[in-house]
Structure 1
Amino acid sequence: MNEAPFLTVTRGDAPLLVSIPHTGIDLAGLESRFASEWTARCDTDWWIEKLYDFAAGQGATVVRTAISRSVIDVNRDPSGASLYPGQTTTGLCPTETFEGLPLYRPGGEPDPAEIDRRRVAYFAPYHEALQAEIDRLRGFHGKIVLYDCHSIRSVLPRLFDGTLPVFNLGTNDGKTADPVLQERVTAIMARTGESFVVNGRFKGGWITRNYGRPENGVHALQMELSCRGYMREPAGPSTPDNWPPAFDAGFAAPIRATLTGILETAAAWARD
Protein backbone atom coordinates (compact mmCIF):
# COMPACT_ATOMS: atom_id res chain seq x y z
CA MET A 1 0.00 0.00 0.00
CA ASN A 2 1.28 3.47 -0.93
CA GLU A 3 0.39 5.86 1.86
CA ALA A 4 -1.26 9.10 0.79
CA PRO A 5 0.56 12.31 1.79
CA PHE A 6 -2.34 13.36 4.04
CA LEU A 7 -2.14 10.15 6.06
CA THR A 8 0.10 9.56 9.05
CA VAL A 9 0.63 5.93 10.00
CA THR A 10 2.80 5.24 13.04
CA ARG A 11 3.37 1.52 13.35
CA GLY A 12 3.73 -0.34 16.62
CA ASP A 13 3.66 -3.99 17.64
CA ALA A 14 1.06 -3.92 20.44
CA PRO A 15 -2.37 -5.47 19.73
CA LEU A 16 -3.80 -1.96 19.61
CA LEU A 17 -4.77 0.18 16.62
CA VAL A 18 -5.70 3.80 17.34
CA SER A 19 -7.78 5.61 14.71
CA ILE A 20 -7.87 9.43 14.67
CA PRO A 21 -10.24 10.37 11.84
CA HIS A 22 -11.47 13.86 12.70
CA THR A 23 -8.53 16.08 13.68
CA GLY A 24 -7.69 17.12 10.12
CA ILE A 25 -7.96 20.77 9.11
CA ASP A 26 -6.81 20.45 5.47
CA LEU A 27 -9.66 21.72 3.29
CA ALA A 28 -8.29 20.13 0.10
CA GLY A 29 -8.21 23.37 -1.85
CA LEU A 30 -11.91 24.06 -1.31
CA GLU A 31 -11.46 27.14 0.87
CA SER A 32 -13.20 29.50 -1.55
CA ARG A 33 -16.31 27.30 -1.68
CA PHE A 34 -16.82 27.01 2.05
CA ALA A 35 -18.80 29.71 3.84
CA SER A 36 -15.61 30.41 5.81
CA GLU A 37 -12.51 28.51 6.78
CA TRP A 38 -13.51 28.78 10.43
CA THR A 39 -16.94 27.27 9.73
CA ALA A 40 -15.36 24.46 7.73
CA ARG A 41 -13.07 23.59 10.65
CA CYS A 42 -15.54 24.22 13.47
CA ASP A 43 -16.49 20.57 14.02
CA THR A 44 -12.91 19.30 14.11
CA ASP A 45 -12.16 16.97 17.04
CA TRP A 46 -9.82 19.61 18.41
CA TRP A 47 -6.56 18.53 20.03
CA ILE A 48 -7.41 14.83 20.13
CA GLU A 49 -4.06 14.07 18.50
CA LYS A 50 -2.35 15.88 21.41
CA LEU A 51 -4.52 14.18 24.02
CA TYR A 52 -3.59 10.72 22.73
CA ASP A 53 0.01 11.40 21.78
CA PHE A 54 1.10 8.86 24.40
CA ALA A 55 -0.41 5.97 22.39
CA ALA A 56 2.58 5.33 20.13
CA GLY A 57 4.75 5.08 23.23
CA GLN A 58 2.55 2.21 24.40
CA GLY A 59 3.33 0.36 21.18
CA ALA A 60 0.01 1.21 19.53
CA THR A 61 -0.29 1.70 15.79
CA VAL A 62 -1.83 5.11 15.07
CA VAL A 63 -3.61 6.10 11.84
CA ARG A 64 -4.58 9.73 11.31
CA THR A 65 -5.80 11.80 8.35
CA ALA A 66 -5.08 15.50 7.81
CA ILE A 67 -8.20 15.96 5.63
CA SER A 68 -11.04 17.82 7.33
CA ARG A 69 -14.27 15.99 8.05
CA SER A 70 -16.01 18.86 6.24
CA VAL A 71 -14.39 17.67 2.99
CA ILE A 72 -15.35 14.05 3.62
CA ASP A 73 -16.10 12.23 6.84
CA VAL A 74 -14.20 8.95 6.94
CA ASN A 75 -16.36 7.78 9.86
CA ARG A 76 -19.60 7.69 7.83
CA ASP A 77 -21.11 4.92 5.72
CA PRO A 78 -19.54 5.36 2.25
CA SER A 79 -22.96 4.73 0.68
CA GLY A 80 -24.26 7.86 2.40
CA ALA A 81 -26.76 5.91 4.53
CA SER A 82 -27.38 7.34 8.00
CA LEU A 83 -25.79 5.52 10.91
CA TYR A 84 -28.45 6.95 13.22
CA PRO A 85 -31.78 6.72 11.36
CA GLY A 86 -34.37 9.13 12.71
CA GLN A 87 -31.78 11.31 14.44
CA THR A 88 -30.10 14.46 13.18
CA THR A 89 -26.55 13.77 12.06
CA THR A 90 -24.07 14.87 9.41
CA GLY A 91 -23.39 12.90 6.24
CA LEU A 92 -20.47 11.62 4.23
CA CYS A 93 -19.85 15.07 2.73
CA PRO A 94 -21.71 17.30 5.18
CA THR A 95 -23.36 20.54 4.13
CA GLU A 96 -24.09 21.88 7.63
CA THR A 97 -22.16 22.14 10.88
CA PHE A 98 -23.30 20.42 14.06
CA GLU A 99 -24.97 23.69 15.03
CA GLY A 100 -26.81 23.91 11.71
CA LEU A 101 -24.71 26.56 9.98
CA PRO A 102 -24.28 26.14 6.21
CA LEU A 103 -20.82 24.86 5.35
CA TYR A 104 -20.80 26.09 1.74
CA ARG A 105 -21.46 29.31 -0.09
CA PRO A 106 -24.62 29.09 -2.24
CA GLY A 107 -23.95 26.73 -5.14
CA GLY A 108 -20.73 25.40 -3.64
CA GLU A 109 -22.08 22.09 -2.35
CA PRO A 110 -20.60 18.93 -3.89
CA ASP A 111 -22.69 17.02 -6.42
CA PRO A 112 -22.77 13.19 -6.53
CA ALA A 113 -19.86 13.02 -8.98
CA GLU A 114 -17.67 15.14 -6.73
CA ILE A 115 -18.64 13.13 -3.67
CA ASP A 116 -17.47 10.04 -5.56
CA ARG A 117 -14.16 11.74 -6.35
CA ARG A 118 -13.65 12.67 -2.71
CA ARG A 119 -14.51 9.13 -1.67
CA VAL A 120 -11.80 7.74 -3.94
CA ALA A 121 -9.23 10.42 -3.13
CA TYR A 122 -9.59 10.71 0.66
CA PHE A 123 -12.00 8.17 2.14
CA ALA A 124 -10.60 5.05 0.48
CA PRO A 125 -6.93 5.63 1.45
CA TYR A 126 -7.84 6.02 5.13
CA HIS A 127 -9.72 2.75 5.14
CA GLU A 128 -7.06 0.99 3.11
CA ALA A 129 -4.58 2.07 5.78
CA LEU A 130 -6.79 0.80 8.60
CA GLN A 131 -7.35 -2.53 6.90
CA ALA A 132 -3.65 -2.94 6.14
CA GLU A 133 -2.74 -2.33 9.79
CA ILE A 134 -5.48 -4.65 11.02
CA ASP A 135 -4.12 -7.38 8.75
CA ARG A 136 -0.54 -6.71 9.83
CA LEU A 137 -1.34 -6.81 13.55
CA ARG A 138 -3.57 -9.85 13.23
CA GLY A 139 -0.61 -11.56 11.60
CA PHE A 140 1.05 -11.88 15.01
CA HIS A 141 -1.77 -11.31 17.54
CA GLY A 142 -4.69 -13.61 18.11
CA LYS A 143 -6.91 -10.61 18.75
CA ILE A 144 -6.54 -6.84 18.57
CA VAL A 145 -8.41 -3.75 19.73
CA LEU A 146 -9.30 -0.98 17.31
CA TYR A 147 -9.85 2.18 19.35
CA ASP A 148 -11.50 5.08 17.51
CA CYS A 149 -10.87 8.53 19.06
CA HIS A 150 -13.44 11.35 18.98
CA SER A 151 -14.67 14.46 20.78
CA ILE A 152 -17.62 16.81 20.51
CA ARG A 153 -19.11 19.88 22.16
CA SER A 154 -20.88 19.04 25.42
CA VAL A 155 -24.10 20.82 24.45
CA LEU A 156 -25.46 20.58 20.90
CA PRO A 157 -29.27 20.83 20.98
CA ARG A 158 -29.51 19.99 17.28
CA LEU A 159 -27.89 16.59 17.89
CA PHE A 160 -28.89 15.59 21.42
CA ASP A 161 -30.82 16.75 24.47
CA GLY A 162 -29.15 18.21 27.52
CA THR A 163 -25.46 17.86 28.32
CA LEU A 164 -23.51 14.92 26.97
CA PRO A 165 -21.64 12.73 29.50
CA VAL A 166 -17.89 13.25 29.61
CA PHE A 167 -17.16 9.68 28.46
CA ASN A 168 -19.26 8.06 25.73
CA LEU A 169 -18.18 4.50 24.91
CA GLY A 170 -19.67 2.86 21.83
CA THR A 171 -19.63 -0.78 20.74
CA ASN A 172 -22.79 -0.71 18.58
CA ASP A 173 -24.81 -2.23 21.42
CA GLY A 174 -22.15 -4.84 22.14
CA LYS A 175 -21.76 -6.09 18.58
CA THR A 176 -18.22 -4.83 17.94
CA ALA A 177 -16.31 -5.91 21.07
CA ASP A 178 -16.13 -8.69 23.62
CA PRO A 179 -18.29 -7.92 26.69
CA VAL A 180 -15.33 -8.44 29.03
CA LEU A 181 -13.35 -5.71 27.25
CA GLN A 182 -16.37 -3.40 27.38
CA GLU A 183 -16.81 -4.09 31.10
CA ARG A 184 -13.15 -3.37 31.89
CA VAL A 185 -13.23 -0.04 30.08
CA THR A 186 -16.56 0.83 31.71
CA ALA A 187 -15.06 0.17 35.14
CA ILE A 188 -12.25 2.63 34.44
CA MET A 189 -14.72 5.32 33.38
CA ALA A 190 -16.81 4.69 36.50
CA ARG A 191 -13.81 5.10 38.80
CA THR A 192 -13.16 8.63 37.52
CA GLY A 193 -16.33 9.97 39.14
CA GLU A 194 -17.14 11.73 35.87
CA SER A 195 -20.35 11.15 33.93
CA PHE A 196 -20.24 8.31 31.40
CA VAL A 197 -22.49 6.18 29.25
CA VAL A 198 -22.09 3.02 27.19
CA ASN A 199 -23.92 2.86 23.86
CA GLY A 200 -25.83 6.05 24.47
CA ARG A 201 -26.25 8.74 21.82
CA PHE A 202 -22.99 7.67 20.16
CA LYS A 203 -22.89 3.90 19.66
CA GLY A 204 -19.99 3.94 17.22
CA GLY A 205 -19.58 5.24 13.70
CA TRP A 206 -18.65 3.50 10.47
CA ILE A 207 -15.13 2.67 11.62
CA THR A 208 -16.33 0.87 14.75
CA ARG A 209 -19.22 -0.87 13.00
CA ASN A 210 -17.34 -1.85 9.86
CA TYR A 211 -14.19 -3.28 11.45
CA GLY A 212 -15.44 -4.54 14.80
CA ARG A 213 -15.65 -8.30 14.20
CA PRO A 214 -15.03 -10.11 17.48
CA GLU A 215 -15.46 -13.47 15.74
CA ASN A 216 -12.47 -12.53 13.56
CA GLY A 217 -10.33 -11.26 16.43
CA VAL A 218 -10.96 -7.54 15.86
CA HIS A 219 -12.65 -5.75 18.76
CA ALA A 220 -13.64 -2.14 18.10
CA LEU A 221 -14.36 0.63 20.62
CA GLN A 222 -15.37 4.22 19.91
CA MET A 223 -14.64 6.81 22.58
CA GLU A 224 -16.51 10.08 22.18
CA LEU A 225 -15.31 12.62 24.73
CA SER A 226 -17.19 15.74 25.68
CA CYS A 227 -14.83 18.63 25.08
CA ARG A 228 -15.21 19.93 28.65
CA GLY A 229 -13.38 16.83 29.85
CA TYR A 230 -10.06 18.00 28.42
CA MET A 231 -10.38 21.66 27.42
CA ARG A 232 -11.80 24.87 28.82
CA GLU A 233 -14.97 24.62 26.78
CA PRO A 234 -16.92 27.89 26.54
CA ALA A 235 -20.65 28.04 27.20
CA GLY A 236 -23.02 28.84 24.38
CA PRO A 237 -22.64 28.54 20.61
CA SER A 238 -19.26 28.32 18.91
CA THR A 239 -17.91 31.56 17.48
CA PRO A 240 -14.59 32.51 15.88
CA ASP A 241 -13.79 34.39 19.09
CA ASN A 242 -14.23 31.45 21.46
CA TRP A 243 -13.62 28.29 19.45
CA PRO A 244 -11.44 26.38 19.66
CA PRO A 245 -9.75 27.13 23.00
CA ALA A 246 -6.02 26.53 23.11
CA PHE A 247 -4.85 23.14 24.28
CA ASP A 248 -3.89 23.22 27.96
CA ALA A 249 -1.85 20.15 28.87
CA GLY A 250 -2.28 20.75 32.59
CA PHE A 251 -6.06 20.98 32.33
CA ALA A 252 -6.14 17.85 30.16
CA ALA A 253 -3.83 15.82 32.43
CA PRO A 254 -6.53 14.02 34.48
CA ILE A 255 -8.47 12.74 31.49
CA ARG A 256 -5.25 11.92 29.68
CA ALA A 257 -4.28 9.70 32.64
CA THR A 258 -7.63 7.93 32.39
CA LEU A 259 -7.26 7.41 28.66
CA THR A 260 -3.74 6.07 29.19
CA GLY A 261 -5.21 3.51 31.57
CA ILE A 262 -7.95 2.60 29.11
CA LEU A 263 -5.52 1.90 26.28
CA GLU A 264 -3.20 -0.03 28.59
CA THR A 265 -6.15 -2.12 29.75
CA ALA A 266 -7.32 -2.74 26.19
CA ALA A 267 -3.87 -3.91 25.09
CA ALA A 268 -3.46 -6.11 28.17
CA TRP A 269 -6.88 -7.67 27.55
CA ALA A 270 -5.92 -8.43 23.96
CA ARG A 271 -2.72 -10.13 25.12
CA ASP A 272 -4.56 -12.38 27.61
Structure 2
Amino acid sequence: MNQVHDWLQIHRGEAPLIISFPHTGTDLPAELEGQFVSPWLARRDADWHVHQLYDFVRALGATTVRTSISRSVIDVNRDPSGVSLYPGQNTTGLCPVTTFDDQPLYRDGLTPDEKEIERRTYTWFHPYHQALDAEIARLRARHAHIVVYDAHSIRSHIPHLFDGELPQFNIGTNSGTSCNPALQTAVEARCAASGFSNVLNGRFKGGWITRKHADPHGGVHSIQMELACRGYMDEPAVTAPDTWPTPYTDARAAALQAVLRQVMDDCLHFTSAHPFATSPHIPVRTV
Protein backbone atom coordinates (compact mmCIF):
# COMPACT_ATOMS: atom_id res chain seq x y z
CA MET A 1 0.00 0.00 0.00
CA ASN A 2 1.33 3.41 -0.99
CA GLN A 3 -0.06 6.46 0.82
CA VAL A 4 1.25 9.68 -0.70
CA HIS A 5 -1.17 11.46 1.63
CA ASP A 6 -2.74 9.97 4.75
CA TRP A 7 -6.14 10.10 2.99
CA LEU A 8 -5.03 8.78 -0.43
CA GLN A 9 -4.55 5.03 -0.61
CA ILE A 10 -2.84 3.51 -3.64
CA HIS A 11 -2.14 -0.18 -4.12
CA ARG A 12 0.03 -0.84 -7.17
CA GLY A 13 -0.38 -3.95 -9.28
CA GLU A 14 1.05 -4.86 -12.66
CA ALA A 15 -2.10 -6.01 -14.47
CA PRO A 16 -3.67 -3.63 -17.04
CA LEU A 17 -6.52 -2.73 -14.68
CA ILE A 18 -7.09 0.22 -12.35
CA ILE A 19 -10.01 0.31 -9.92
CA SER A 20 -10.99 3.77 -8.70
CA PHE A 21 -12.89 4.25 -5.43
CA PRO A 22 -13.84 7.93 -5.30
CA HIS A 23 -16.83 7.71 -2.96
CA THR A 24 -16.11 5.05 -0.32
CA GLY A 25 -14.49 7.55 2.06
CA THR A 26 -16.24 8.78 5.20
CA ASP A 27 -13.56 10.98 6.77
CA LEU A 28 -14.57 14.51 7.75
CA PRO A 29 -11.60 16.79 8.48
CA ALA A 30 -11.78 18.06 12.06
CA GLU A 31 -11.91 21.69 10.97
CA LEU A 32 -15.00 21.01 8.84
CA GLU A 33 -16.99 18.49 10.83
CA GLY A 34 -18.77 21.11 12.95
CA GLN A 35 -19.98 22.95 9.86
CA PHE A 36 -22.22 20.07 8.79
CA VAL A 37 -25.77 19.67 10.05
CA SER A 38 -24.70 16.25 11.34
CA PRO A 39 -21.71 13.97 10.76
CA TRP A 40 -24.06 11.10 9.88
CA LEU A 41 -25.80 13.14 7.18
CA ALA A 42 -22.39 14.15 5.79
CA ARG A 43 -21.46 10.47 5.50
CA ARG A 44 -24.77 8.90 4.53
CA ASP A 45 -24.35 9.14 0.74
CA ALA A 46 -21.04 7.27 0.68
CA ASP A 47 -20.64 4.24 -1.59
CA TRP A 48 -20.82 1.98 1.42
CA HIS A 49 -18.48 -1.02 1.60
CA VAL A 50 -17.62 -0.91 -2.14
CA HIS A 51 -13.86 -1.17 -1.57
CA GLN A 52 -14.56 -4.30 0.51
CA LEU A 53 -16.81 -5.70 -2.21
CA TYR A 54 -13.93 -5.43 -4.69
CA ASP A 55 -11.16 -6.53 -2.33
CA PHE A 56 -10.47 -9.56 -4.55
CA VAL A 57 -9.06 -7.41 -7.37
CA ARG A 58 -5.61 -7.17 -5.79
CA ALA A 59 -5.17 -10.90 -6.25
CA LEU A 60 -5.77 -10.29 -9.96
CA GLY A 61 -2.88 -7.81 -10.05
CA ALA A 62 -5.11 -4.73 -10.26
CA THR A 63 -4.09 -1.28 -9.08
CA THR A 64 -6.51 0.47 -6.72
CA VAL A 65 -6.82 4.19 -5.94
CA ARG A 66 -9.06 5.30 -3.06
CA THR A 67 -9.75 8.48 -1.14
CA SER A 68 -10.88 8.25 2.47
CA ILE A 69 -12.38 11.76 2.36
CA SER A 70 -16.18 11.96 2.33
CA ARG A 71 -17.76 13.06 -0.93
CA SER A 72 -19.64 15.67 1.12
CA VAL A 73 -16.32 17.47 1.62
CA ILE A 74 -15.40 17.33 -2.06
CA ASP A 75 -16.56 15.01 -4.82
CA VAL A 76 -13.59 13.92 -6.92
CA ASN A 77 -16.01 12.56 -9.55
CA ARG A 78 -17.38 15.97 -10.57
CA ASP A 79 -16.25 18.46 -13.19
CA PRO A 80 -14.04 20.92 -11.26
CA SER A 81 -15.37 23.79 -13.36
CA GLY A 82 -18.78 23.27 -11.77
CA VAL A 83 -20.49 22.30 -15.03
CA SER A 84 -23.16 19.64 -14.46
CA LEU A 85 -22.38 16.20 -15.86
CA TYR A 86 -26.12 15.55 -16.14
CA PRO A 87 -27.74 18.73 -17.49
CA GLY A 88 -31.41 19.03 -16.66
CA GLN A 89 -31.28 16.35 -13.95
CA ASN A 90 -30.96 16.71 -10.20
CA THR A 91 -27.45 16.00 -9.01
CA THR A 92 -24.88 17.15 -6.46
CA GLY A 93 -21.89 19.37 -7.13
CA LEU A 94 -18.14 19.52 -6.58
CA CYS A 95 -18.60 20.56 -2.94
CA PRO A 96 -22.18 19.42 -2.31
CA VAL A 97 -24.46 21.61 -0.24
CA THR A 98 -27.34 19.11 -0.17
CA THR A 99 -27.70 15.36 0.20
CA PHE A 100 -29.07 13.01 -2.45
CA ASP A 101 -32.48 13.63 -0.86
CA ASP A 102 -32.08 17.42 -1.21
CA GLN A 103 -31.49 17.99 2.50
CA PRO A 104 -29.12 20.81 3.52
CA LEU A 105 -25.69 19.52 4.48
CA TYR A 106 -24.38 22.67 6.17
CA ARG A 107 -25.49 24.78 9.08
CA ASP A 108 -26.80 28.23 8.23
CA GLY A 109 -24.11 30.52 6.86
CA LEU A 110 -21.41 27.82 6.72
CA THR A 111 -21.63 26.58 3.13
CA PRO A 112 -18.23 26.66 1.38
CA ASP A 113 -17.48 29.85 -0.53
CA GLU A 114 -15.36 30.12 -3.68
CA LYS A 115 -12.09 30.39 -1.75
CA GLU A 116 -12.91 27.33 0.35
CA ILE A 117 -13.90 25.31 -2.71
CA GLU A 118 -10.57 26.23 -4.30
CA ARG A 119 -8.73 25.10 -1.16
CA ARG A 120 -10.52 21.75 -1.12
CA THR A 121 -9.87 21.28 -4.83
CA TYR A 122 -6.15 21.86 -4.35
CA THR A 123 -5.98 19.72 -1.19
CA TRP A 124 -7.99 16.66 -2.23
CA PHE A 125 -9.35 16.81 -5.79
CA HIS A 126 -6.18 17.43 -7.79
CA PRO A 127 -4.02 14.88 -5.91
CA TYR A 128 -6.60 12.15 -6.57
CA HIS A 129 -6.57 12.78 -10.31
CA GLN A 130 -2.80 13.20 -10.38
CA ALA A 131 -2.55 9.77 -8.76
CA LEU A 132 -4.83 8.25 -11.40
CA ASP A 133 -2.83 9.91 -14.17
CA ALA A 134 0.43 8.56 -12.73
CA GLU A 135 -0.91 5.01 -12.49
CA ILE A 136 -2.33 5.19 -16.01
CA ALA A 137 1.03 6.33 -17.37
CA ARG A 138 2.89 3.62 -15.41
CA LEU A 139 0.68 0.82 -16.72
CA ARG A 140 0.51 2.15 -20.27
CA ALA A 141 4.28 1.90 -20.38
CA ARG A 142 3.80 -1.85 -19.86
CA HIS A 143 0.54 -2.59 -21.68
CA ALA A 144 -0.93 -1.54 -25.01
CA HIS A 145 -4.41 -1.32 -23.47
CA ILE A 146 -5.59 -0.78 -19.91
CA VAL A 147 -9.00 -0.44 -18.26
CA VAL A 148 -9.85 2.27 -15.72
CA TYR A 149 -12.87 0.95 -13.83
CA ASP A 150 -14.68 3.45 -11.60
CA ALA A 151 -16.51 1.57 -8.81
CA HIS A 152 -19.66 3.00 -7.22
CA SER A 153 -22.89 2.15 -5.43
CA ILE A 154 -26.02 4.03 -4.43
CA ARG A 155 -29.29 3.39 -2.63
CA SER A 156 -31.90 1.73 -4.82
CA HIS A 157 -34.60 4.36 -4.25
CA ILE A 158 -33.80 8.08 -4.31
CA PRO A 159 -36.79 9.96 -5.81
CA HIS A 160 -34.88 13.25 -5.98
CA LEU A 161 -32.35 11.68 -8.36
CA PHE A 162 -34.30 9.06 -10.32
CA ASP A 163 -37.74 7.49 -10.62
CA GLY A 164 -38.60 4.06 -9.26
CA GLU A 165 -36.06 1.41 -8.41
CA LEU A 166 -32.59 1.67 -9.89
CA PRO A 167 -31.38 -1.37 -11.89
CA GLN A 168 -28.78 -3.47 -10.11
CA PHE A 169 -25.97 -2.88 -12.63
CA ASN A 170 -25.68 0.60 -14.12
CA ILE A 171 -22.91 0.58 -16.72
CA GLY A 172 -21.60 3.97 -17.85
CA THR A 173 -19.36 4.57 -20.85
CA ASN A 174 -20.29 8.20 -21.55
CA SER A 175 -22.69 7.03 -24.26
CA GLY A 176 -20.11 4.68 -25.75
CA THR A 177 -17.24 7.17 -26.06
CA SER A 178 -15.05 6.22 -23.08
CA CYS A 179 -14.01 2.71 -24.15
CA ASN A 180 -13.72 0.34 -27.08
CA PRO A 181 -17.13 -1.13 -28.09
CA ALA A 182 -15.80 -4.63 -27.42
CA LEU A 183 -15.30 -3.85 -23.72
CA GLN A 184 -18.71 -2.25 -23.41
CA THR A 185 -20.33 -5.26 -25.10
CA ALA A 186 -18.53 -7.75 -22.89
CA VAL A 187 -19.47 -6.04 -19.63
CA GLU A 188 -23.06 -5.46 -20.73
CA ALA A 189 -23.42 -9.12 -21.77
CA ARG A 190 -21.97 -10.33 -18.47
CA CYS A 191 -24.40 -8.24 -16.45
CA ALA A 192 -27.33 -9.28 -18.63
CA ALA A 193 -26.47 -12.96 -18.16
CA SER A 194 -26.24 -12.60 -14.39
CA GLY A 195 -29.98 -12.56 -13.75
CA PHE A 196 -29.68 -9.17 -12.05
CA SER A 197 -31.34 -6.12 -13.63
CA ASN A 198 -29.02 -3.93 -15.68
CA VAL A 199 -28.87 -0.88 -17.93
CA LEU A 200 -26.24 0.66 -20.19
CA ASN A 201 -25.80 4.44 -20.13
CA GLY A 202 -29.04 5.01 -18.28
CA ARG A 203 -29.30 7.47 -15.40
CA PHE A 204 -25.58 7.11 -14.72
CA LYS A 205 -23.49 7.42 -17.89
CA GLY A 206 -20.17 7.93 -16.12
CA GLY A 207 -18.83 10.76 -14.04
CA TRP A 208 -15.78 12.99 -14.35
CA ILE A 209 -13.33 10.15 -13.74
CA THR A 210 -14.75 8.05 -16.57
CA ARG A 211 -14.87 11.04 -18.91
CA LYS A 212 -11.57 12.73 -18.04
CA HIS A 213 -9.34 9.67 -18.05
CA ALA A 214 -10.75 7.99 -21.14
CA ASP A 215 -8.51 7.74 -24.20
CA PRO A 216 -9.68 4.65 -26.13
CA HIS A 217 -7.58 5.42 -29.21
CA GLY A 218 -4.57 5.81 -26.93
CA GLY A 219 -5.21 2.52 -25.15
CA VAL A 220 -7.00 3.82 -22.03
CA HIS A 221 -10.55 2.48 -21.74
CA SER A 222 -12.71 3.77 -18.90
CA ILE A 223 -15.99 2.45 -17.59
CA GLN A 224 -18.15 3.25 -14.57
CA MET A 225 -20.16 0.68 -12.64
CA GLU A 226 -22.89 2.03 -10.38
CA LEU A 227 -24.38 -0.74 -8.25
CA ALA A 228 -27.71 -0.60 -6.45
CA CYS A 229 -26.82 -1.27 -2.82
CA ARG A 230 -29.50 -3.94 -2.41
CA GLY A 231 -27.36 -6.37 -4.37
CA TYR A 232 -24.77 -6.75 -1.62
CA MET A 233 -26.23 -5.23 1.57
CA ASP A 234 -29.61 -4.82 3.21
CA GLU A 235 -31.46 -1.58 2.55
CA PRO A 236 -33.93 -0.45 5.22
CA ALA A 237 -37.15 1.28 4.21
CA VAL A 238 -36.01 4.41 6.05
CA THR A 239 -32.40 5.49 6.42
CA ALA A 240 -31.59 6.85 9.86
CA PRO A 241 -28.51 6.94 12.09
CA ASP A 242 -29.57 3.68 13.75
CA THR A 243 -30.44 1.86 10.50
CA TRP A 244 -27.91 3.03 7.90
CA PRO A 245 -25.52 1.79 6.77
CA THR A 246 -26.20 -1.85 7.41
CA PRO A 247 -23.17 -4.10 8.02
CA TYR A 248 -21.21 -5.72 5.23
CA THR A 249 -20.98 -9.50 5.30
CA ASP A 250 -19.25 -11.80 2.85
CA ALA A 251 -22.26 -14.10 2.74
CA ARG A 252 -24.68 -11.30 1.85
CA ALA A 253 -22.37 -9.97 -0.87
CA ALA A 254 -21.31 -13.33 -2.33
CA ALA A 255 -23.77 -13.61 -5.22
CA LEU A 256 -23.12 -10.12 -6.57
CA GLN A 257 -19.40 -10.38 -5.94
CA ALA A 258 -19.28 -13.52 -8.07
CA VAL A 259 -20.62 -11.52 -11.02
CA LEU A 260 -18.12 -8.73 -10.38
CA ARG A 261 -15.29 -11.26 -10.47
CA GLN A 262 -16.48 -12.26 -13.93
CA VAL A 263 -16.68 -8.60 -14.98
CA MET A 264 -13.05 -8.12 -13.88
CA ASP A 265 -12.08 -11.19 -15.87
CA ASP A 266 -13.85 -9.69 -18.89
CA CYS A 267 -11.89 -6.46 -18.48
CA LEU A 268 -8.59 -8.33 -18.35
CA HIS A 269 -9.55 -10.56 -21.26
CA PHE A 270 -10.34 -7.46 -23.29
CA THR A 271 -6.85 -6.05 -22.74
CA SER A 272 -5.19 -9.32 -23.70
CA ALA A 273 -7.39 -9.69 -26.78
CA HIS A 274 -6.27 -6.23 -27.99
CA PRO A 275 -2.51 -6.54 -27.49
CA PHE A 276 -1.23 -4.15 -30.13
CA ALA A 277 -1.04 -0.40 -29.90
CA THR A 278 -1.61 1.76 -32.97
CA SER A 279 2.13 2.32 -33.39
CA PRO A 280 5.04 -0.19 -33.45
CA HIS A 281 5.98 0.73 -29.88
CA ILE A 282 3.77 1.20 -26.83
CA PRO A 283 3.44 4.94 -26.24
CA VAL A 284 3.37 6.36 -22.76
CA ARG A 285 0.25 8.49 -22.26
CA THR A 286 1.21 12.00 -21.32
CA VAL A 287 -0.26 13.40 -18.12
Equivalent residue, structure 2, for 1:36: 38
Deviations 1:7-50 (A, max 9, x none): 11000000000000001111122111000000000100000011
User: How many residues align structurally?
Assistant: 271
How far apart are the structure 1 equivalents of 2:67 and 2:3? 14
Deviations 1:237-257 (CA, angstroms, capped at 9, x unpaired): x21121100112101001001
Q: Does 1:183 find its partner at 2:158?
A: no
Q: For the residues of structure 2 that align with 1:108 and 1:250, how far apart are their CA atoms?
A: 42
- 1:26 equivalenced with 2:27 (yes/no): yes
Which position in structure 2 is the counterpart of 1:113? Answer: 115
Looking at structure 1, the residues matched to 235 and 264 of structure 2 have their Cα atoms a distance apart, in angstroms, of 25
**Structure 2 counterpart of 1:180, one-letter code:** A
Task: Indicate which of 232, 235, 246 corresponds to 1:233.
Answer: 235
Identity %: 56
Q: What amino acid sits opposite 1:267 in the alignment?
A: L
Question: Given the alignment, which residue of 157, 162, 174 partners 2:176?
Answer: 174
Q: Aligned residue for 1:11?
A: 12
Aligned partner letter, 1:27? L
Distance 2:58 2:176 in 1: 27
User: SS where residue 3 of structure 1 aligns?
Assistant: strand
- Tell me the residue number matched to 2:261: 260
Q: Deviations along 1:104-141, whole A, 9 cap, x unmatched?
A: 11111100000000000000110000000000000010
**1:176 touches 1:209 (CA, 8 Å); kept in 2?**
yes
Determine the C-alpha separation between the residues in 2 that align with 1:268 and 1:167.
Answer: 20
Tell me if structure 1 keeps the 8 A contact 2:3–2:10.
no
Q: How many Å separate the matches in 2 of 1:248 and 1:56?
A: 19
Cα drift, residue 265 of structure 1? 1.1
**Cα deviations across residues 40-66 of structure 1 (Å, max 9, x unaligned)?**
001000000110000111100000001
- Counterpart code for 1:158: H
Q: Distance in 1 between matches of 2:272 and 2:69?
A: 33
Q: Which amino acid aligns with 1:13?
A: E
Do the aligned partners of 2:173 and 2:206 also contact (CA within 8 Å) in 1? Answer: yes
Question: Alignment partner for residue 216 of structure 1, among 218, 224, 235?
Answer: 218
The letter of the residue matching 1:166 is Q
Structure 1: 5+ residue stretches without partners: none
Q: TM-score w.r.t. structure 1 length?
A: 0.98
Listed one character per residue, the Cα deviations across residues 180-209 of structure 1 (whole Å, up to 9, x for unaligned) are 111111111011111100000000000000
The one-letter amino acid of 2:151's match is C
Is the contact between residue 3 and residue 125 of structure 1 (CA under 8 Å) also seen in structure 2?
no
- Number of the residue aligned with 1:135: 137
Aligned to 1:98: 100
Q: 1-side partners of 2:124 and 2:220: how far apart?
A: 24
Distance in 1 of aligned mates of 2:240 and 2:122: 33
**Over 4 Å off, 4+ runs:** none
Q: Distance in 1 between matches of 2:233 and 2:214?
A: 30
Tell me which residue corresponds to 1:125.
127
TM-score, scaled to structure 2: 0.93
Partner of 1:66: 68
Residue number in structure 2 paired with 1:200: 202
Distance apart, 1:2 and its partner CA: 8.3
